[in-house]
Chain A
Amino acid sequence: MTLTPGFQGRPRPTGVALPPGQYEVADFPVLSAGPTPHVPLESWELVIRNEDGADWRWSWHELQRLPQEDARVDLHCVTRWSKFGTSWRGVSLDVLLADVTSSAQYALVGCYGGYTTNLPVADLLGGKAWIAHTYDGAALAPVHGGPARLLVPHLYLWKSAKWVRSIQLLRDEQRGFWEQLGYHDYGDPWREQRYQGD
């Protein structure tokens, strides 16, 4: 028997690379599990901690003095919207991790407000991930993760943690907030890895 007879849907998308199960949006939806934190730049810092407990730290001023990159990327949210050609500016994780001594395979990202997410260290390297502070030419709004968020657009957007504060490098994988609640450990939109077991 036919599923949802009479359903037609929108005109099929052309000219964009839409992962399975996604649809294109023009606006920029917001999804967060709690209140939006408002983090003063004076007290903002980013900490990378290796598996032995050694820290590398950057203040807001120090972050701004690092080499900056522009990134034009597509965003794919697990709630099924995709947004194409978004413009960001920030610091590549290649720069931030360059002097960090570690043989860890896994990272747990922590945020102002308490959110966490996990991903492999390899996905932070190789020009694929940034600490982004500027969106579309303007300071990143708090509702979208400002002052700074992780931007790792080849994975579903919950991995691009808003209000990023720390990256812990770990020998063993530790699940973050949504990953503990049934969402996928890796989250590749092209393999539609939405939930654990996908």
Chain B
Amino acid sequence: MTSSGGVELGTAGAAVPARLGERFATTRGWRVATLAAAHAESATARTLELDVPDWPGHLAGQHVDLRLTAADGYTAERAYSLSAPLDPARPGRVAVTVQRVRGGEVSPYLVDTFATGQLVEVRGPVGGWFVWEPGFADAVPVLLVAGGSGIVPLVAMVRARRAAGDRTPFRLLYSVRTPDDALFTDELTGVRGGADGVDTQVFYTRAAPLDAPREARRIGLQDVAAHGWPPELRPVCYVCGPTGFVEAVTRMLLALGHDPATIRAERFGPAGD
């Protein structure tokens, strides 16, 4: 992109190749989906497996919009991250993992009340930036950093890598309050996680289990330096979590020398400061 006066103006072509527009297009309208199966991931989080007619497919990291309808016709819409990649054997099946939010309008219903066989409207997939697929960006190393339920789109990326037999180097840093709040840790750590070849580090911020390698504390700069990738490898960094967490971790990545253009973020919740 040329510019005069030494000013680099943003260009539509620079950030993302144009073809992504078609690839990531959100299909029109709502589809009526059926809750085919559900299981608890923790005391406060539940995975919903929805059968969606004519589902166009999705990439790990994308989300869906759900629309709920009350008896008086009132509707509420919310976005939830998909927690599993597309399964070619079941192309109409999508999974979202919902964390119950205290005082929330929708998540308590989805976690506690919504029953298998019941219907909900679905739209999507949505979002084409916070995504990964095998072969993405010439298989440069990937750093995943999750805070709390920010693990959901990142576990979809780990699962997409596993399902494809992809060997892109992955490292995952997962910050969570207590073992009771942790999602997917049996799958991501220990023998099962080791079989993936994904180096996963769990950081407990409030209470750590007895066998944890470190006391309860927040992820710090030294942790990101020790368990992330050197910036010279130009890894793609995906950071997902509450706003304060994402701000802190992205500042650490920048301080360690990572190019801001290699850092992708997904934030939820209020600013916190």
**Partner-B contacts on A (CB < 8 A):** 1-10, 12, 21, 23, 25, 27-37, 45, 47, 49, 53, 55, 57, 79-80, 108-111, 113-116, 118, 141, 143-144, 165-166, 168, 174-182, 194-198
Contacts and interface: CB of A to CB of B under 8 A. Distances in A.
Contacts of A182: 21, 24-26, 126-128
A196 B22 CA distance: 10
Nearest to B33: A3
B12 A31 contact: no
A80 B79 contact: yes
A118 B15 CA distance: 14
A168 B3 CA distance: 11
Contacts of A141: 271, 273
Nearest to A108: B12
A34 B109 contact: no
A55 B5 contact: yes
A65 B271 CA distance: 30
Nearest to A22: B77
A113 B265 CA distance: 13
A7 B25 contact: no
Contacts of B74: 9, 12
A110 B67 CA distance: 33
Interface string B3-19: 01101011111111010
Contacts of B264: 33-34
B269 A165 contact: no
Contacts of B267: 29-32
A196 B4 contact: no
B113 A6 contact: yes
B243 to A, nearest CB: 4
